[in-house]
Structure formats: structure tokens, C-alpha cells
Amino acid sequence: MSNFLEMNKREKLIEAIVNKYEKMGENPDTYLEGLLQAKPINYWDYIEVDTLLSLQKPRTDFKDEVVFIGYHQVTELVLKLMIHELKQLVFDSLSEEEAIEKMGRLTRYTDMLITSFSVMSEGMSYEDYNTFRMTLAPASGFQSAQFRFLEIYCTPLKNLINEEGKKRLPKNPSIEDYFNHIYWRDAGFDRETGKMKKILELFEDKYLASFTALAKKLEGKTLCEQIRQKDYQNEQFIEKLREFDYAFNVKWPLTHLHTAKTYLDKKGENKAATGGSEWKKYLHPKHQQRCFFPWVWQEVSIIDWETRTVS
Ligand code: HEM
């Protein structure tokens, strides 16, 4: 590019900057002066590397505990990105094309969590894990609130109630009724004795009000309901919904359950989980029966929750 053209381009850029600040009622010179004095940004500052690397704090001397903490943190970051996409899907008026793109992103993130789960199933010493995990009771991944927020963005609460729960629901259930019977309460609430486990009590104390507030805000406006109302006929979109539903509600849970079995039931010992749930039954998708977009499964043969396939 000639010098003249370059100057011209630069002048236009400066003019655009000046216009931008004048429009805001600000003095452009102050901002240009600031730009002149500002230090260049570094990777480590922008990504907050030091903060990020200071967050892994093992409670024991077992080397693999840091693997356990780190991988949970990776999962939470990925869930944050998924919720970031979901908020746009739910609150912004996206075109069908944009929505398809975002559904693809959700499945890609979920696939990332599924394929990387071997960091847990194969990446820790069996003995070490089974020793250091005892210091973590009653904490459990069960208490990951982002998993529940994600569900609430995706689908109305009625789709998070399994067949047993549906039988218990009163007529015209309120949001509170739905939360009383939601599938995840089965991990810590014994409906016969009325006893509640610490894992659930602490979790609900901390988050139930926020879950309820979000569910109220999204009444009739969850992703499932919005898409249903728009009545998209695009088969590609339907396929994207199926893929995500299947990955998040069947594949990930089965991968996670397989890992739990690897550590807690390797020799048929059925060890107690840190959260104390009847985990083998509770964690199986056929018990939970979560389904974000039920109508997209109507035209395919559903064999069961484990072998759910598109035909
Ligand atoms: C060695 C690795 C792991 C084992 C053995 C394991 C085991 C378990 C068990 C037994 C439960 C049932 C609740 C309880 O009684 O504690 C549970 C729940 C859960 N765990 Fe893990 N877990 C592992 C890793 C992870 C990771 C990396 C995550 C990611 C954040 C995670 C997320 C969850 C979630 C979301 C639940 C609740 C599932 C649901 O309600 O459907 N777990 N886990």
C-alpha cells in the first residue's frame, strides 16, 4: 500500500475515534492521550493466568487430587460457556441460522466434556482417589449449580420430573411443587422417612431460591418452549436439538456413571459416594428421564434411555 493510502486510512480511523467520543459527549483528546500512555496488554493479564492457576487447592498430599480439582474446574468453565450460549438463545432474537449454529456449539461443548472424561476415569490412581475423596464428604459434583441452571434454561420443569415424580405431582403444580419432585431431589431426599441428606440440604439452602427465581423468569420462555412456538420445520435444526439432548442427558450421564463405577464398584463393592446417594440407581438416565425437547423424539424409535438412537 502506498504511503498516501496508508495515511488516508489512518486519518479516517482517527476521525472515526473522534466521532465516537464526540457522540458520547466526551472529549476525544482525553481518550487519545490515554491510548498514547497505556501499556500494551499481556497474555497473562488478559487471561488472568496467575489467578486461574492459584485456584487449585488440594486438601491432602495425594498428587492426583489436583487432577480431580482441575478437571472439575475445567467442567465448570465449559458449563459457563454453555450457559453463555443458552442466554443468547433464550433472550436474544436470533435468526434460525444463528440458533442452529448455537445448538451446534452446545453439543460440541458437551462432546468435549464426554470425550475428556477419561481424565477422571483413567487419569487418577484408584487407591489415591479412594483415600482423598473421603476428605470431601459430604461435597459432591451433585452440588454443581451450573448443571441445574443449564437445565432450567433449556426446558420447563415438567421435563425434569421422572415417571415416579409425575405420579406424586398435585394438579396444576406450582414452580415450588415441581422443585419438590424434580429428579435430582432423589439423590438426597428419602420420601418414605422424610429425611434429607446433608448433600441436598446444603445445596438447596444455597441455590434453591436462585433456581426458583430463574424458573419463574423463564416460565413459558425456556429454550424448548420458544423453539416449539416458532415451529421450525428445518430438519437440520431438529437434528441439532436431538444431538444436544442425547449428548447432555444420556451420553454424559452414562460416561459419568461408568467413571463412578470404575472407582466405587470396581469389584462389586458398591462403595458409598461422598454425597451418600444411592448412586448406581440415581445416576442412570433411565431413572432420571431428563429430556429437554420431548417432541423431537416423537418420530424416532426410542428403545430405552441407554440405547436411545435416532432411526
Ligand atoms: C472420579 C470421578 C467422579 C466420581 C467417582 C463421581 C461420582 C459421583 C457420584 C457417586 C454422584 C452421586 C451423588 C453422590 O452421592 O455423591 C455424582 C454426582 C454428580 N457428579 Fe460426579 N463423580 C466424578 C466426577 C465428576 C465430575 C468431573 C463432574 C463435573 C463437574 C461431576 C459432576 C457430577 C454431577 C453434575 C452430579 C449430579 C448428577 C445428576 O444429578 O444427574 N462428577 N458423582
Average pLDDT over residues 93-115: 96
What are the pLDDT digits (tens) for 124-149? 999 999 999 999 999 999 999 999 99
Ligand 1 centroid to residue 142 C-alpha, Å: 6
Cβ of residue 207 lying under 6 Å from some atom of ligand 1: no
CATH code of 66-297, in short, is: 1.20.58
User: What pLDDT is stored for residue 205 in this prediction?
Assistant: 98
Which pLDDT does position 6 carry in this prediction?
A: 76
Q: Could you report the per-residue pLDDT of 253-307, keeping only the tens digit for each?
A: 999 999 999 999 998 989 999 888 999 999 999 999 999 999 898 866 554 556 5
Q: Which residue has the higher pLDDT, 174 or 4?
A: 174
Which of 95-99, 150-154, 204-208, 229-233 has the lowest average pLDDT? 229-233
More confident residue, 232 or 125: 125
Name the residue of 125, 160, 256 whose CB sits within 8 Å of the most ligand 1 atoms, as the mutation to test its pocket. 256
Please give, one letter per residue, the 3-state secondary structure of the chain. CCHHHHHHHHHHHHHHHHHHHHHCCCCHHHHHHHHHHCCCCCHHHHCCHHHHHCCCCCCCCCCCHHHHHHHHHHHHHHHHHHHHHHHHHHHCCCCHHHHHHHHHHHHHHHHHHHHCCHHHHCCCCHHHHHHHHHHHCCCCHHHCHHHHHHHHHHCCHHHHCCHHHHHHCCCCCCHHHHHHHCHHHHHCECCCCCCECHHHHHHHHHHHHHHHHHHHHCCCCCHHHHHHHHCCCCHHHHHHHHHHHHHHHHHHHHHHHHHHHHHHCCCCCCCCCCCCCCHHHHCCHHHHCCCCCHHHHCCCCCCCCCCCCCC
Q: What is the pLDDT of residue 310?
A: 38
CA of 68 to the centre of ligand 1 (A): 11
What percent of the chain shows pLDDT beyond 70?
95
* Residue 311 clears pLDDT 70, i.e. is over it: no
Q: Where are the domains of the chain?
A: 3-38, 66-297
pLDDT range class, residue 309, cuts 50, 70, 90? very low
161-183 average pLDDT score: 97
